[in-house]
Each structure stands twice: as C-alpha cells, then as structure tokens.
Amino acid sequence: MSAHTPLFEVRDLRVAFGPGGILGEAVRGISLHVDHGEVLGIVGESGSGKSVGMLAALGLQPEGARVSGSVRFKGRELVGLPRRDLRELRGSRIGMIFQDPLSSLNPVMTVGDQIAEAVRLHNRDMSRKAALDRAKDLLALVSIPQPDRRLQQYPHEFSGGMRQRVMIAMAVANDPDLLIADEPTTALDVTVQAQIMDVLADLKQRLKIGLILITHDLGVLAGHADRVAVIYAGQVVEQAGVDDLFARPGHPYTRGLIASIPDMTRMDDRLFSIEGTPPALGHLPSGCAFNPRCTVAQDVCRHLAPQTHVEGDHNATCHFAFQNVVSAA
Amino acid sequence: MTRYILRRLIAMPFLVLGIVTLAFLLTTVTKGDPLTAIVSDRQLNNPEVVAAAKAKWGLDRSLPERYVIYVGNLLTGDMGTSFITRRPVAQDVLYRLPATMELVIAAMAVGATIGISLGVLAAYFRNTAIDHAARFFALFGSSIPVFWLGLALLYVFSVQWGILPGPGRLDARATPPPMVTGFMTVDTLMAGNVRLFLDAVWHLILPAFVLGWAVAGTISRLVRANMLEVLSREFILTARAKGAGEFRVVIRHALRNTLVPTLTVIGYSFAYLLTGAVLTETIFSWPGMGSYAVDAARGLDFPAIIGVTIVGGVIFLITNLLTDIAYVVANPRVRLG
Ligand SMILES: Nc1ncnc2c1ncn2[C@@H]1O[C@H](COP(=O)(O)OP(=O)(O)OP(=O)(O)O)[C@@H](O)[C@H]1O
Ligand SMILES: [Mg+2]
C-alpha cells in the first residue's frame, strides 16, 4: 500500500435494511479504492450489493437503509457528512450514470435543460444561455451529432445508446474527479455497448478521472479496467489487477465468473454458469457465503468464515485461495 | 398536435348545437302547450303578450320552422324573458354569470393550491402524521355535504368568531362599484377602490373554501398517488446524483411529471364546481347562476331554466376542451407523437 491519499477510498462499508437492520445487510464490509486516471471494475451477480453499496457511499441509499463504515473522497470523510455538503460533491466532483438511460432521464424535460441543470446546480450565477452552450459542448464531447438540434429534444426521441451518451454528458458536466458508472451498458445492444465503453475510455483519458465501472459481466472489464473487485453477497471476495485476475484467479467464484464469459472464438454455444443462486438478503449460509455453490468447498467452508489471503496487490477471501488453480469448469 | 386541436375546435359548434337542440326540445315538451314555456301563467290571459310571443317564436308554424326561428333568436342573444325577473334571460345571465365564475375560479384556485400542496406533502412524508392529516382532510371534504359545511363554517367564522364576513359579495352597507366585468374583485380595482377590493376578497374566502374543499381533497389524493409513483422512478435518483436539493427534486422533477393527470382532474372538477355552486350560492346569498337556477326551478321559470341549461352546457364544453388541449400541450410524448 502506498502512503498517498487515494482519490476515493471505501473502508468496511456496511448497508443494512429494515428497522434495526432486521432484514439483513446487503453490503457487508466492502473496502476498495480508486485513483485519478484509474479504472476500477466492480463485478458481481445481480443482488450482490454493487448498486446499493456505491449509492450509499454517496449518501444516496434507499430510505430506511443504515450505512456505516468509512468513505473518503480526497481524504474527506463522506459518511455522516451533512446533506448539503454531499450535494455539493454529487454532480460536481463525483458523477454517476445508471443502467437504464431511458428511465434515468426526466421524460418531461428537454435533454438540454437536464444537462444545463447539472451545470447550473454547481455554477449558481451562470446564465441559462451559457449553461445551454456548455450543454451543447458536452453533447459534442460524447459524440452526439447535431448537438444544437438535439438539445431541444426529449429523451424519448433518442436511441438507447444516444440516451446513455446524454447521461454521460450530464455526469461529466462539471469536470468531476470521479465517475461511477453502474452497469452503463447492460440495457444496451451489443454493438452499442462497445461504443459506450469507448466513450467512457476516451473521457477517462481526456479528463483524467477515476472511473468505477460496475458490471455483472467480467468480460466487459477485460479490456477496460485496471483493477477489479469481485463482489459476492455484499463482500469483496477478490481484488487484483485485471491481468493478474484473469491469469491467476484466486477465488473459486472468480473462476466461475471467468468461465461464464461467452467465448466468441469457441464454436459451441454452451455457456457455463455458476450453479445455484446467491443468498437472499438476511439468509446467509454459515461459514463462507459462497460455500453452497462452491465446487471445491470442504467442511471448514461450511463452518468458518474465510480469512483474506494477500499476495502482493492481489487478495482473495477463501480458505483455499490461490490453491486450487484447476478451472472449475 | 395542431391537427388534434383543430379537430376538437371544429367539433365544438356541433356540440353546442346539440345542447341548443336539447334545450329547444325541452320547450316543446313542457306542459303540452309551448306557449306555457315562453309566457308566464299570469300573462297567459293577456292577448297582446300572447300574440307577440307567438309571432316572435313562430308558434303557429311547424316544428322545424320553429327550430330555425329559435336558433335564429339565440344567435342574436335572445333567450326569451324571465317570468320572475321580467328581464331578458340573456341580460340576467350576463349579470349573474361573472359572479359564479368569480366564485368557481376562486374555489378552483383554493382547491388546486391546497390539493397540490397537501398531495405533495403527503407523498413526501408518507405514513407520517402529515400524511394521515391530509388523508383525513380529503375524506372530510368529500363526505361532508356542501350545504352543511357552508352553514357550519358561516356559523363558526362569521357568527361566533366574527373573523370572516357573512353572506354576500360585499359589505351590505357598501356601495358596489359600477359593473364592468362583473367580477367584484376586478370591478372594485377598476374603480380604484382598494378597500372595497379587500372587502370583496374577504367575502370570497369562505364560499370559495366551502366549494373548493372537496376538490382539494380529490386533487390531493390524486397528486399523492402520482407523486409516490414518480418519486420511485429512476430519474429522481439521477436528479439527486446531479446534486439537486430535495425541494428541486420534488417540485421540478417529480411534481412536473404529475402535471398531466393533475391538470386533467382540475379541468374536469369544473363541472363539479358548477353544480356545487348552486348550493354554495344559495347559502352565501351569492347573486350568481346557481341561485338564479334555483329560483328559476322553484318558480317554473322556463325561459330562465333553458337559458341556464344552455349556458351551463356551453361552459362545460369549453372547459373540457381547454382541459384536453392542456393535456396535449403538457405532455411532450403526445405533443410530438
Ligand atoms: N430498499 C430496499 N429495501 C430492502 N432491500 C433492498 C432495498 N434495495 C436493495 N435491497 C437489497 O439489496 C441487495 C443488493 O441490491 P443491489 O441493487 O445493490 O444489487 P446489484 O448488485 O446492484 O444487482 P444488479 O446487478 O441487479 O443491479 C438486494 O438483495 C436487494 O434485495
Ligand atoms: Mg445494480
């Protein structure tokens, strides 16, 4: 670990639901960090707590959720920060984009107004005109043709890919330091997915932002992430540089995820998938949360929560981390 | 969009004609002799009056001819003479309609303002005391009869506490301003009399509230339901992620998305307000169309009844048209699609 302050650092983040947390924890002590110009991929199945975790880090947790732990942005603690101060960070220093660009945009506001709003919320004395000019530049930045005309249109007049570009333009409207993209391509066609990833990669280069890329498809991260955090049932089970992760996955769950990446070069279309389903909120198995689905689980896995094994910049939380390198497939 | 509005506008004259035809048929079916619907009982023995009426409305002619004459008279603004006031019905209407409109518009403003505010608050603070209080307010307003509410509030606020004035549009001792628009609030201002204007507003409060309460209740329930739905949508999260404050999130993003159904219910509540005005005007001695209609019905004043029917019907058509146009204008997906 280097001594400098990371751009964004989450430590032991927990999010519990229900009165007194009675429904259980959706996020159970996540720790991760990302730096300027770096792309951190967060991967995990649906319901693993990726969205809830990142939203809670910015104070956007669902009503009734209890958040604890530490979230530091440029060294400043965000958990427990007054709402007003959090608002100042959101949309200005930290941008966010979501999975479904259609439902994420206000249907009764023009695209121009929505982007201009993002600009003016953090530049109080900027005129509407100037903000719309800025919005036009932003549309051009994310390669939307005819930005002048597009500004006056409503979200439903855009295609899915174009809408996601609008969301990206809005998220980077104030030159943020950090961009959190929550499954930005999941709702899009395969061909459009690649384009959106290119836009994000391009922006990261140009604006030197830190990027957190949330996905449930490890394949998306292969070409785009620098480091990857694998999340299972609200915990980070493995974290490593992307090449290291693919070359030497230390956790059986990661191996399963890698095996489930559709392989374009193989002709048979039989797709591997990890058997079973992740535990429901508040219904964790004893021992390792992954043990009922694990192909290499032993007795100890059913009784004892595993420790985290660290090998340089690579860590995995498994009783048999880095040991059973035989593919689970 | 223009095509839709144009189509609706073209349909208007036909709908109005439909109302007029109905009104005409009313005159032909009453008591067998159409004369009794034009000339009051007291005047039936007066040969001069009877002859004049027969000539004017073509009572000796066939039904279709009479229909044409009737429509022709209407077009010149002639709706016959009231049995009770002995003035032309058109003149009575011109005098009384503004009083009703002033009351209904005030009631609508009260209903919409209170209804929308309560609906938004109830949704944002759902399942709290605020929400329960708003629910009670709405339930009370829509289950208490207008005349009971009117009398009770008059008794409490005017008789007991004396903080609001009694019935009427102005203090009984005040000299009304010359009638220009017929809206007391406007006419007092045009006469440059601010004290009288305040008095007029003062007199409007209670009847407008009585009439608007039920509407406020209906609107608040609808706004609450729509707000709850909209507040759970993803773009609300986007707005918060942009750094928008709660007030902006609720008003500019959420409320604006409930505008279309809200406008619709406000527009359609107009019909309710017009009917409700009848009772409210009677209780508050409001010289409007409602009390005119009550008097006319009581006195079997057919020309007046028919006049009120036509005017009420036309107003109803116009507000529905405006509501539908507003619906289209406020909804970008309909507007452009
Ligand atoms: N308001 C809420 N009340 C109770 N539980 C909730 C609430 N919101 C989310 N959860 C639970 O939190 C868990 C994590 O959800 P989350 O949306 O973070 O998953 P995710 O990893 O983002 O999945 P996906 O890939 O589907 O987006 C889920 O089990 C979900 O049921
Ligand atoms: Mg999610």
Per the CB < 8 A criterion, the answer to whether B35 and B44 are in contact is yes
Q: Among A234-238, B60-64, B182-186, where is mean pLDDT lowest?
A: B60-64
For residue B324, what pLDDT band results from cuts at 50, 70 and 90? confident
For a mutational test of ligand 1's pocket, the pick from A51, A61, A185, A235, i.e. the residue with the most ligand atoms closer than 8 A to its C-beta, is: A51
- Whether the per-residue pLDDT at B109 is higher than 90: the answer is yes
Query: Could you say which of A95, A103, A156 has the minimum Cβ distance to residue B235?
Result: A103
Q: Note residues around ion ligand 2 (Cβ under 5 angstroms).
A: A 51
Report the distance separating Cα B73 and Cα B50, nearest Å: 17
Question: What's the pLDDT score for residue A328?
Answer: 43
% chain B with pLDDT above 90: 41
Mean per-residue pLDDT, B227-245: 95
This model of the complex carries an ipTM of 0.90
In order, the DSSP letters of B51-91 are HHHHHHHTTTS-HHHHHHHHHHHHHTT---B-TTT-SBHHH
Amino acid symbol at B205:
I
Q: How far is CA A177 from CA A94, A96, B131, B210, in A?
A: 6, 11, 40, 56
Question: What's the pLDDT score for residue A60?
Answer: 94
Nearest CA to ligand 1 atom 16: A49
- Whether the per-residue pLDDT at B335 is higher than 70: the answer is no
Query: Could you say which of B234, B243, B333 has the minimum Cβ distance to residue A103?
Result: B234
CB contact under 8 A, A157 and B253: no
Query: Running along chain A, 329 residues long, what does each successive block of 10 average in pLDDT?
Result: 80 93 92 94 94 95 93 94 94 94 93 96 94 95 93 93 94 95 90 90 90 92 93 96 94 92 64 84 92 91 93 93 60
Nearest CA to ligand 1 atom 7: A62
Question: What's the pLDDT score for residue A270?
Answer: 61
Q: For residue B175, what is the DSSP state?
A: P
For a mutational test of ligand 1's pocket, the pick from A42, A48, A212, i.e. the residue with the most ligand atoms closer than 8 A to its C-beta, is: A48
Mean of the per-residue pLDDT values of chain B: 87
Non-local (6+) Cβ contacts of A76 within 8 A are none
Question: What's the pLDDT score for residue A306?
Answer: 94
Token digits of residue A192: 């459009």
Nearest CA to ligand 1 atom 1: A62
Q: How far is CA B309 from CA A189, B9, B267, B293, B316, in A?
A: 60, 21, 20, 9, 10
Report the distance separating Cα A203 and Cα B182, nearest Å: 64
Mean per-residue pLDDT, B112-140: 95
Contacts of residue A98 in chain B, CB cutoff 8 Å? Answer: 234, 237-238
H or E segment and range at residue B201: helix B194-231
Other beta carbons within 10 angstroms of residue B178's beta carbon come to 8
Amino acid symbol at A154:
Y
Query: Could you say which of B234, B242, B332 has the minimum Cβ distance to residue A108?
Result: B332
Locus of tokens 């530091």: A72
Question: What's the pLDDT score for residue B264?
Answer: 86
Phi and psi angles of residue A214, each rounded to the nearest 5 degrees, phi first: -95, 135
Query: Could you say which of B237, B244, B257 has the minimum Cβ distance to residue A108?
Result: B257
When the candidates are 1.10.3720.10, 3.90.320.10, 3.40.190.80, 3.40.50.970, the CATH number that belongs to B97-289 is: 1.10.3720.10
- pTM for this predicted structure: 0.84
Kindly give the residue spans of alpha helices, DSSP state H, lying in chain A: 50-57, 83-89, 101-104, 111-121, 128-141, 147-151, 160-171, 190-207, 218-222, 242-247, 252-259, 299-303
Per the CB < 8 A criterion, the answer to whether A155 and A164 are in contact is no
Per the CB < 8 A criterion, the answer to whether B190 and B82 are in contact is no
Per the CB < 8 A criterion, the answer to whether A174 and A91 are in contact is yes
Report the distance separating Cα A232 and Cα A228, nearest Å: 13
Closest-lying ligand to the alpha carbon of A52? 1
Report the distance separating Cα A247 and Cα A241, nearest Å: 10
Closest-lying ligand to the alpha carbon of A30? 1
For chain A, the residue count is 329
Report the alpha-carbon angle A257-A258-A259, nearest 5.
90
C-alpha distance from B244 to closest chain A C-alpha (Å): 7
For residue B334, what pLDDT band results from cuts at 50, 70 and 90? low
Question: What's the pLDDT score for residue A143?
Answer: 92
Atom of ligand 1 nearest to the CA of A47: 19
For residue B337, what pLDDT band results from cuts at 50, 70 and 90? very low
CA of A53 to the centre of ligand 1 (A): 9
3-state class percentages of chain B: helix first, strand second, coil last, to nearest 5: 75, 0, 20
Token digits of residue A264: 């374009």
pLDDT digit string, tens, across residues B8-42 = 889 888 999 999 888 888 777 665 566 776 777 77
Question: What's the pLDDT score for residue B31?
Answer: 56
pLDDT digit string, tens, across residues B266-291 = 888 888 898 888 889 999 999 999 88
pLDDT digit string, tens, across residues B81-108 = 888 888 999 999 999 999 999 999 999 9
Mean per-residue pLDDT, B248-267: 91
Question: What's the pLDDT score for residue A31?
Answer: 95
Per the CB < 8 A criterion, the answer to whether A144 and A152 are in contact is no
Pocket of ligand 1 (CB under 6 A): A 17, 23, 26, 44, 46-52, 62, 216, 281
CB contact under 8 A, B332 and A167: no
